[in-house]
Amino acid sequence: MATRKTKAQATDRTRDLEIALEEERSLSSARNTLLETNIKELNDVYVALNEKLKALRDREERIKGFEAQLVRANKLSSLGELAGSIAHEIKNPLIAIQGFAKRILRTEGIGKVGRYAALIDQEAGRLSNVLARLLDFSRMDEPKSEECDLHDVVDDTVLFMEHHLTRFKNVSVEVRRSQEPVMVRIDRIHIQQALINLINNAAQSMPDGGIIRISSGTQDGLGFITVADEGSGIDEEILGRIFEPFFTTKPKGEGTGLGLSLSKRLLEANNGSIDVETTPGQGSTFRMLLPLTKTA
């Protein structure tokens, strides 16, 4: 009797195990089916993401193409603005030269002839200056380096500009210099030309007059020349463009937009740099930085 009962219990346990095993198989099959479904969905998502990534890359390439076209268009636009500006600069002196030449032909008095000849020489000089600035920008000569003191460069340039600045209303110059010499190895003419451009810009930024403050000295192991004006400053939206070739905020015919870009190239040709600090309504300070001469 006990043996029969034991066998029945064993049979029940076997059946329970078989049922549990079947349930586990069914659950495992369901898990596998779910896993396969998830893998398929993930694969579909991966494929979709790859397609979107490819579309984004294609779009980026198209954008780069558009940007390149825009750059070319901007260059053409700049060249057009330059051509218009130069045409205006050259046209007026040419008209004056032609007019005075015709007057000379009709003039008998030697005094007037001399005056007309002087005016012709003046207008021809304007033409020469415009063309020289263009040539300076397009063809940068190799620097002819010499060791010199930046203080001397400032003094000579200010002396040279003294008469030129008299054509600006109520504009004066103050020069401050450190006590120690600032020895650098540069092309003196390059740096003087850059400084002349900065002084001219400073004077033009102050139509009602003001003080141009020029300083020279050393800072952080570099020699510097700063040119500060009391003008209206530079608007933030154009600050990043002021060193671009042909960019100018001056009225048409009053500038070709080559001064600052030429100054930047001159400084870089001498292993230097130029930067600007400006406050709208209070003025701007341009700073030229140059490596000091290495001492033994």
Long-range CB contacts (within 8 A, 24+) of 135-144: 136/193, 136/258, 136/262, 137/245, 137/258, 137/261, 137/262, 137/265, 140/265, 140/266, 140/269, 142/269, 143/186, 143/187, 143/190, 143/269, 143/270, 144/187, 144/189
- In which residue are the tokens 């040539």 written? 135
Tokens of 151: 């203080």
pLDDT digits (tens, 9 = 90+) for 40-64: 888 888 888 888 888 888 777 776 6
DSSP state of 145: -
CA distance 105 to 234: 49
CA distance 110 to 187: 45
CA distance 201 to 207: 11
CA distance 62 to 266: 37
- In which residue are the tokens 């032609």 written? 98
Q: Quick one: pLDDT at residue 1?
A: 55
Residues with pLDDT less than 70, the chain:
1-10, 12, 16, 63-92, 105, 107-112, 114, 125-126, 128-142, 245-258, 295-296
Query: What are the angstrom distances between the C-alpha of 154 and each of 144, 165, 232, 288?
Result: 18, 15, 24, 12
Q: Quick one: pLDDT at residue 286?
A: 93
CA distance 151 to 174: 13
Q: Quick one: pLDDT at residue 243?
A: 75
Total-model pTM: 0.54
Q: Quick one: pLDDT at residue 296?
A: 39
CA distance 200 to 175: 15
Sequence-distant (6+) residues with CB within 8 A of 153 are 186, 188, 191, 192, 195, 216, 225
Q: Quick one: pLDDT at residue 85?
A: 56
Please state whether beta strands 183-186 and 222-228 pair in parallel, antiparallel, or not at all (unpaired).
unpaired
Cβ contact 253:88 at 8 Å: yes
